[in-house]
């Protein structure tokens, strides 16, 4: 800063940097603005317009043969994962969504009976892919994900 006498009060002009420093600040702000306009905004536009965001109706509830087949296969996968035949599936709790490329998401619940004859309700979500062929054959389906949570 400028050499200021002690008996003089500071004014707003004392806070303004010299011309060289002020020029650097203006140049940096202009550079940041140019980067935003010509680099960041086009990149964000590219990402938003990509295939990931451009397919809005690919996740819809489904009923019918394909939905029932996905539900049956998810029950089979769940029963295998629980490693027991003592599993019941209430009919009213199942929701099936179809996604693109033959993929299905099934949200359902099951009642699993343990060795002490206690029944436990378990909510599960199953993600399966239909490979083609007969809808009811196990070989036509591939398990992509299975997750569950015991209801309290």
**pLDDT mean over 106-126:** 87
- Residue 18 is classified by DSSP as P
- Residue 115 is classified by DSSP as T
Of the candidate ranges 32-46, 81-95, 120-134, the one whose mean pLDDT is the lowest: 81-95
Q: What is the pLDDT of residues 135-144, one digit of tens each?
A: 888 899 999 9
Does residue 84 register a pLDDT over 60? yes
Residue entry with tokens 């600040």? 25
Q: What is the pLDDT of residues 22-78, one digit of tens each?
A: 899 999 999 999 999 999 999 888 877 766 555 555 566 777 888 889 999 999 999
The length of the chain, given as a count of residues: 152
Helices (H), 36-146: 41-48, 65-82
* 12-16, long-range: CB < 8 A, 24+ apart: none
**pLDDT mean over 100-129:** 88
Burial (CB < 10 A; 0-12, 13-18, 19+), residue 68, is middle
């Amino acid at each position: 800063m400028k050499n200021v006498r002690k008996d003089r009060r500071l004014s707003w002009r004392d806070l303004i940097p010299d011309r060289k420093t002020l020029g650097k600040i203006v140049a940096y702000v202009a550079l940041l603005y140019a980067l935003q306009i010509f680099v960041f905004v086009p990149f964000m536009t590219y990402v938003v317009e990509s295939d990931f965001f451009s397919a809005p109706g690919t996740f819809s509830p489904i009923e019918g043969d394909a939905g029932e087949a996905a539900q049956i296969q998810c029950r089979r996968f769940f029963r295998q994962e629980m490693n027991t035949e003592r599993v019941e599936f209430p009919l009213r709790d199942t929701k099936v969504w179809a996604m693109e490329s033959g993929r299905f998401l099934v949200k359902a619940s099951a009642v699993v009976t343990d060795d002490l004859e206690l029944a436990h309700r378990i909510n599960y979500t199953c993600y399966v892919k239909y490979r083609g062929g007969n809808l009811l054959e196990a070989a036509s389906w591939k398990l992509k994900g299975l997750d569950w949570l015991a209801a309290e």
